[in-house]
Amino acid sequence: METIPDNDENGFIRRLAEQYNVSLRFEPLGEGVRGYKIDSEIVLNEHNPPERRNWTFCHELGHIVLGHSMTPTDAEEREADQFASETMLPQRDFIPDSGDIELDKLKNLYPHASYEVLARRSLQFARGVVTIFDGEHLTARMGSDDINFPPAPIQEEMDAFRECCEKKADCVKTAKDLTINSYYVDQGRSVVRIFLVTHPLVDV
Ligand SMILES: [Zn+2]
């Protein structure tokens, strides 16, 4: 078995490929294409950032391990996503780490996962609302099951977003019943992502 160096940006998935006896290949696929599997080989788009390739690998590995057909059903897609979540961020380790949804801390602990995967997984266990902006554009807004929240960000959240854009740095804002942590994520790609994590004391 070859030794995989710690600084290999694909180390996480190379180890999984060995563990599950799956072969792994990188190819220049078209824009928007994440990858695919044929039998027990997973092919990933070499143009995608490492964290996205990691997620795609774990999702496709889920289809293989769970014995899904070549044309998975919607239910099988959800199973493959759940397999990917559990493989990247195992519940037993992740629950004690995710309580406050501190995305910068989580990224240090789990560098192989993207901020978005970390945020989505956190909301399975911790209470809060996460809003994602790409540049000025609102990309996603999601919350834990136990919170009722409006589909659009409220005034205090937009204020937190603007402050984070101006300072180009992580910020914390407290409003009367809320704490809003904003994370400025510039990974040198075309757009900067900003994550707001809203912690409500009462429902937003
Ligand atoms: Zn799939």
**Per-block average pLDDT, block size 10, for the chain (204 residues)?**
77 96 96 92 95 97 94 96 98 94 97 96 96 96 93 95 97 92 90 94 62
Name the segment(s) of the chain with CATH classification 3.30.450.
91-200
11-44: b or e for each residue (b if 16 or more CB lie within 10 Å)? ebbbebbeeeebebeeeebeeeebbbbeeeebbb
What is the CATH class of 91-200? alpha beta
3 state SS of 117: helix
The protein residues having their C-beta less than 5 angstroms from ligand 1 (an ion) are 77, 80
Ligand 1 centroid vs 83 CA: distance in angstroms? 11
Ligand 1 centroid vs 124 CA: distance in angstroms? 20
Q: What is the per-residue pLDDT for 42?
A: 97
Name, in order, each residue with C-beta under 8 angstroms of 110's C-beta and a sequence gap of 6 or more.
88, 89, 94, 118
Ligand 1 centroid vs 73 CA: distance in angstroms? 9
Assigned fold of 11-88: Zincin-like (3.30.2010)
State both tokens at 204: 């937003």
| pTM flag (> 0.85) | yes
Give the Cα-Cα-Cα angle 94, 119, 91 (nearest 5 degrees).
20
CA distance 10 to 52: 11
